[in-house]
Amino acid sequence: MTDVADRATAGFRREFGAPPAGQWAAPGRVNLIGEHTDYNDGFVLPFALPLRTVAAADRQEGARWTVWSELSGETIDFGADEVDEPGRVAGWGAYVAGVVWALREAGHDVPGARLAITSDVPLGAGLSSSAALEAAVLTALVDLGGLDLPAERQPRLAQRAENHYVGAPTGIMDQSASIRCRDGHALFLDCRSEGVEHIPFDLRGAGLAMLVVDSHAPHRHADGEYAARRKSCEAGAERLGVPALRDVTVDQLDTALARLDDPETRRRVRHVVTEDQRVLDTVALLRAGRVREIGPLLTASHVSMRDDFEITVPEIDTAVEAALAAGALGARMTGGGFGGCVLALVEADAADPVADAVTAAYAEQGFRAPDHLTVLPSPGAVRLT
Ligand code: ADP
Ligand code: MG
């Protein structure tokens, strides 16, 4: 298969009979650590993947947007009327129309455009193909129209597109990661202030690699379980008299837990409070260049998600256990849970044996074979040409 950017330009030429004015790329992401902390006003630490979505694009006359995606094979076309009424453009086009809508809503004079979209971010695997699509389209439109929208304000806008136009209740992490991540860094995001810091994450320099395993676990009841976890966290915060669980520190945890009589709420609160601390501890280690030492924090995060937050599934636990048994320095589920991907921190030359061990463990359990890839922290959204 040719490069994702070449395919976007070739697609543009074929669909629109002319070369594009430029190419914009935006990556998928994984969250290194900090799960279900976002809606508790806490901390997350994603990094961008080398897998990207590319928009080859040019302006066109009037307020019209014509979009081809290689993944669906179709070309869709919509005007301002459809954009201005969330819901009118459905399916994958909603992510594109949503970006145009959010820009217009914020008062920007969005140029009409033709776009050809290609991607090597797998869809629905928890690697955030949706934010990659939004970010690729957003950066293309901002540049084509010369819009006054600095990078720090773009994630909020892309999030609005997904929340209000697509109708998916996501936090700010995915869009922040896709737009703002830097090569060789993780993005430390404070979900309360929306402040970000770029934390050096030099896997290669430390002789390490990150293995991403797509568990292929079917997302069982994920939406309902997500809502239930949010509710538990809100109930816990209310009972403890704090605006959000972010406001409970690890030092205060025992006292706080003693005030909660429901054992389930206690477990949920313990996960969130300890997970916030694990993010802070990971950031401190990375800042000190002690990359290899984050392994135990990743594994502790997994145990907390498995036992306290109860959001893992057999496929995921099997992958984590097999990776650790095969010598991974740390491993955890990444993403909201009930499926998705597992991260394993490994010695650079151990990525293949660890992946093989996970595949063998899956076969033994009779699970559908997992996919895997090895990644390094990669750049956020950029204009390529
Ligand atoms: P994730 O973000 O974890 O991959 P989501 O369900 O949030 O999963 O988003 C996946 C959806 O995003 C797809 O079903 C599709 O509608 C849309 N999408 C993402 N990338 C593309 C693409 N390159 N072309 C068309 N649609 C895409
Ligand atoms: Mg998504």
Task: List pLDDT tens digits, range 283-342.
Answer: 999 999 999 999 999 999 999 999 999 999 999 999 999 999 999 999 999 999 999 999
Residue 254 belongs to what H/E stretch?
helix 253-258
139 lines ligand 1 (CB under 6 A): no
Place of tokens 């990556």: 27
Task: Say if CB 47 and CB 30 are below 8 A apart.
Answer: yes
Average pLDDT over residues 166-183: 95
C-alpha of 369 from chain center: 23
Q: Which residue has better confidence, 112 or 219?
A: 112
Find out whether the beta carbon of 71 lies less than 6 Å from any atom of ligand 1.
yes
Q: Is the pLDDT of residue 144 over 70?
A: yes
pLDDT of residue 1: 52
Q: Is the CB of 128 under 6 A from ligand 1?
A: yes
For CA atoms 169, 173, 176, 182, give the dihedral sign. Answer: negative
pLDDT for the residue numbered 116: 98
Q: Which residues hold their Cβ within 5 A of ligand 2, which is an ion?
A: 128, 130
Phi, psi of 374 (to 5 degrees): -105, 135
Ligand 1 probe mutation, 92, 165, 215, 371, most atoms within 8 A of CB:
92
Enumerate residues 6+ apart whose C-beta is below 8 A from 30.
46, 47, 49, 127, 210, 212, 334, 335, 341, 343, 375
Atom 26 in ligand 1: which residue has the minimum CA distance? 92
Distance from Cα 239 to the centre of ligand 2, integer Å: 32
| Mutation test residue for ligand 1: of 130, 176, 226, the one with most atoms within 8 Å of CB | 130
Give the contacts of 163 (CB within 8 A, at least 6 positions apart).
169, 170
Q: 258 CA distance to ligand 2 centroid (A)? A: 37
Decide if 174 is catalytic. Answer: yes
> In this predicted structure, what is the pLDDT of residue 43?
98
Atom of ligand 1 minimally distant from the CA of 69: 24
Q: How far apart are CA 23 and CA 17, in angstroms?
A: 16
Report pTM.
Answer: 0.96
Verify whether ligand 1 is closer than 6 Å to residue 167 (CB atom).
Answer: no
pLDDT at 222: 82
Which residues have CB under 8 Å from 139's CB, separation 6+?
24, 26, 55, 154, 179, 381, 382, 383
- SS3 at position 172: coil
Please state, rounded to an integer, the average pLDDT across all residues of the chain: 97
